[in-house]
């Protein structure tokens, strides 16, 4: 029963993530092209009701993700979130006035089958959620320079390079946020809300969440969504699962045929995510091209 609820809340999180991505991407379309990483972008978005709606849906998705992580392993929950593409793709296609192509349906079926096999075979072993200060220090020392490099050089770049660099930073940050969420939810279950509020990870989580969300908007605004969307969606579970294994000591228990079938399922998930992410980005870019000239003429 608990495993089923973990899967249910992870899928609900994926649905909300899909809607949030599509809606917030639309909200960035009238931000000036040279203001993708700036206070202008922030103030423009804060005045848009569409952005608040998308952000609200995304926060609901995060609440579902946190609920799933309260009972489930990072190694199961995070890969399931890539199913958001199964919902984002048709939504983006509809808004762009196009139909999902046959090849994209094939990839969608492949992703669905791979996710189903992954859920059936993945049996995680609980990790160690306390006393991992040294491992965290090493992890942060590796992650921080990557994020800073991508943000600094992304802000100085334009077009595809900016989109990809910032998308890398976003994927890494969201992976780290997932791990911190797991820790906070563990402490919440063990010691209650009052004890959780005294923990530094709670405030680090809040700061990283706001930062990652704004950087994600910058990646959307920079365009090249066929590159940035799959980059974010693939990196988040990769970083989260890697940290879960190396820092929290979470592992999957596999035996027999699963030692071969599970890597194949994971590889199929990655390939389908990249293919569908490019498709979703293509529809969003078509919509952006269609909307921006209209908005310019209106002004």
Domain boundaries, the chain: 2-298
pLDDT confidence of 299, banded at 50, 70, 90?
very low
According to DSSP H, which parts of 28-132 are helical? 39-46, 49-71, 74-80, 84-95, 102-121
Give residue 222's pLDDT.
67
The span from the CA of 182 to the CA of 177, in Å, is: 9
Q: Does residue 234 contact residue 267 with C-beta atoms inside 8 Å?
A: no
Give residue 293's pLDDT.
47
Neighbouring-strand partners of residue 125: 251
In tens, the pLDDT along 108-122 reads 888 888 888 887 776
What's the CA angle centered on 174, arms 172 and 178, to 5 degrees? 120
Lowest mean pLDDT among 63-72, 131-140, 149-158, 275-284: 275-284
Q: What is the DSSP letter of 124?
A: E
Q: Does residue 109 contact residue 272 with C-beta atoms inside 8 Å?
A: no
Q: Please determine, for residue 149, whether its predicted confidence score (pLDDT) is greater than 90.
A: yes
If you average pLDDT over each of 1-5, 220-224, 247-251, which comes out highest?
A: 247-251
pTM of the model: 0.81
Q: Does residue 123 contact residue 72 with C-beta atoms inside 8 Å?
A: no
In tens, the pLDDT along 261-291 reads 878 888 888 888 787 777 666 666 666 666 5
């Amino acid at each position: 029963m608990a495993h089923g609820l973990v899967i249910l809340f992870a899928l609900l999180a994926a649905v909300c993530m899909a809607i949030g991505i599509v809606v917030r991407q639309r909200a960035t379309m009238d931000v000036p092209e040279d203001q993708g990483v700036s206070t202008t972008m922030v103030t423009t978005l804060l005045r848009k009701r569409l952005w608040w709606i998308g952000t609200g849906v995304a926060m609901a998705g995060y609440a579902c993700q946190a609920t799933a992580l309260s009972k489930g392993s990072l190694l199961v929950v995070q890969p399931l979130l890539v199913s958001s593409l199964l919902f984002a793709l048709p939504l983006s296609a509809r808004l762009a006035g196009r139909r999902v192509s046959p090849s994209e349906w094939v990839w969608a079926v492949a992703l669905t089958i791979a996710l189903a096999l992954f859920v059936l075979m993945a049996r995680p072993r609980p990790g160690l959620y306390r006393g991992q200060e040294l491992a965290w220090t090493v992890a942060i020392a590796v992650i921080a320079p990557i994020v800073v490099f991508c943000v600094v050089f992304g802000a100085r770049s334009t077009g595809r390079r900016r989109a990809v660099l910032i998308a890398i930073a976003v994927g890494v940050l969201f992976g780290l946020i997932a791990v911190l969420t797991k820790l906070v939810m563990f402490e919440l279950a063990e010691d209650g809300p009052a004890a959780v509020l005294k923990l530094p990870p709670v405030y680090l989580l809040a700061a990283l969440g706001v930062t990652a969300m704004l950087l994600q908007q910058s990646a959307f605004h920079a365009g090249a969504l066929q590159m940035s969307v799959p980059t974010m969606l693939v990196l988040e579970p990769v970083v989260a699962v890697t940290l879960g294994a190396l820092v929290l000591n979470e592992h999957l228990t596999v035996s027999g045929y699963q030692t071969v079938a599970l890597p194949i399922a994971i590889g199929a998930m990655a390939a389908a995510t990249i293919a569908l992410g490019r498709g979703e980005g293509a529809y969003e870019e078509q919509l952006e091209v269609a909307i921006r000239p209209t908005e310019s003429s209106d002004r």
